[in-house]
Amino acid sequence: MKNVKVCVIGAGGISNSVHLPSLRDIDGINLAAICDVIPEKARKLAEKFAISETYTNYHEMLVNEKPDCVFVLVQPDQIFRIAMDCMNAGTDVFIEKPAGITLFQSESLVRASKDAGRILQVGMNRRYIPLIQAVVKRMREMTTITQIEGCFVKHGDAAFYNGCASAFVCDTIHAIDILSWIANSEPANAATVISCVNSPVENAWNSVIRFENGIQAVLKANYQTGGRVHTFELHGPNASAYINIGFGGEACEATILHCTGIGTFSLSAAGSGDFVIEKFDGKEIAKSDKYYRYYGYYDEDVAFIGSVRTGEKPLSDITASLRSMRLAEYILTHRI
Ligand SMILES: NC(=O)c1ccc[n+]([C@@H]2O[C@H](COP(=O)([O-])OP(=O)(O)OC[C@H]3O[C@@H](n4cnc5c(N)ncnc54)[C@H](O)[C@@H]3O)[C@@H](O)[C@H]2O)c1
């Protein structure tokens, strides 16, 4: 197995909490260097994760280190240029979400990765959460999914990263990406209500979407609520999945309700129908109670390193993220 030489750009929160711990756990990696414009931040993480070299200039790092791949873990408005420079320097690239702060940037990134012949993976970690993978697989065994709901609400500022872009593109995109991935179709119609509550910028987006293949979806996002709640519902004839990946904290559990015979007309008049309930524990499925392992970050990094080795496109390749960014744009432009 080829040893993969990895460099990291950005020694901030996401680097420290999930990507460097994940990379430390993956075999066959040479974590060669880390770069941050603030030298102490690079030094601190280099020491913590036993990375040999630190840089403040990523151009210099690319020339000196000649890595196989680079993780670009910087603020959303910085990602585009750095990803371009890395691909032009001949490396495969992992970028954190969003895939550029505009649809225009996402489209340019798709063309650039194609022209450079490089893997460009986007950090849409929800797709890789072992719990979500298991629930979607089980649902597909039992039914045809016809309806999906994604909810991401928080209490905070919707002008993300000093106002470089909206929470809708920087954060709600996680929920939109799951709708896009599971529906696996283009939007045919949508109706979106957008509001602005206690905020100088819009901060609540509620939308109903119909995809070309007939799947219906509901998106609920609001950044002035009681706190972080992140859930998904999947429905189809005979089966419904309720996925909870956040209620205040970092929940990771799901329940599937499966109709096994007679359906329910009225609980009070005719009693409940025939059903079974299956419960899923995300930490058990991931075989870890570490957040970076049960919340999809480790698995997305494993997938990326695998793609660097094989050249095969990963699940959250830039083209998949472009589809999610197009859906985001569609939701916004179908405002009522
Ligand atoms: N997938 C997720 O669940 C998730 C969660 C949080 C953040 N993110 C994404 O991760 C990215 C980073 O977020 P964060 O919260 O860690 O940010 P952060 O501000 O904590 O860290 C970013 C770091 O990048 C450095 N940096 C910026 N420009 C640089 C440059 N040109 N060269 C070298 N270093 C540079 C900054 O100095 C900073 O230390 C964002 O794009 C964000 O959207 C993803």
Atom of ligand 1 nearest to the CA of 10: 24
HEC string of 85-135 equals: HHHHCCCEEEECCCCCCCHHHHHHHHHHHHHHCCCEEECCHHHHCHHHHHH
Provide the mean pLDDT of the chain. Answer: 96
Task: Establish whether residue 70 lines the binding site of ligand 1, counting it when its CB lies within 6 angstroms of any ligand atom.
Answer: no
Contact (CB, 8 A) for 295 and 124: no
pLDDT digits (tens, 9 = 90+) for 80-91: 999 999 999 999
pLDDT digits (tens, 9 = 90+) for 108-131: 999 999 999 999 999 999 999 999
The residue count of the chain comes to 336
Strand partners, 247: 229
Contact (CB, 8 A) for 188 and 216: no
- Residue 61 CA to residue 39 CA, distance in Å, equals 13
- Residue 232 CA to residue 280 CA, distance in Å, equals 14
pLDDT digits (tens, 9 = 90+) for 283-334: 999 999 999 999 999 999 999 999 999 999 999 999 999 999 999 999 999 9
Q: Distance from the CA of 105 to the center of ligand 1, in angstroms?
A: 18
- Residue 196 CA to residue 214 CA, distance in Å, equals 31
Mean pLDDT of 96-109: 97
- Residue 286 CA to residue 91 CA, distance in Å, equals 30
pLDDT digits (tens, 9 = 90+) for 4-61: 999 999 999 999 999 999 999 999 999 999 999 999 999 999 999 999 999 999 999 9
Task: Establish whether residue 97 lines the binding site of ligand 1, counting it when its CB lies within 6 angstroms of any ligand atom.
Answer: yes
Strand residue runs (E) in 36-101: 53-55, 69-72, 92-95
Atom of ligand 1 nearest to the CA of 38: 37
Eight-state DSSP code of residue 2: P
Whose CA is closest to atom 3 on ligand 1?
125
Closest Cα partner for 135 from 246, 304, 259, 286?
Answer: 286
Strand partners, 162: none
**What local confidence, expressed as pLDDT, does residue 1 receive?**
67
- Residue 310 CA to residue 307 CA, distance in Å, equals 5
Task: Establish whether residue 61 lines the binding site of ligand 1, counting it when its CB lies within 6 angstroms of any ligand atom.
Answer: no
pLDDT digits (tens, 9 = 90+) for 227-286: 999 999 999 999 999 999 999 988 999 999 999 877 777 777 777 778 999 999 999 999
Eight-state DSSP code of residue 251: -
**Ligand 1, pocket-test mutation among 20, 74, 81, most atoms within 8 A of CB:** 74
- Residue 313 CA to residue 332 CA, distance in Å, equals 29
Eight-state DSSP code of residue 168: I
- Residue 167 CA to residue 151 CA, distance in Å, equals 13
- Residue 246 CA to residue 37 CA, distance in Å, equals 33
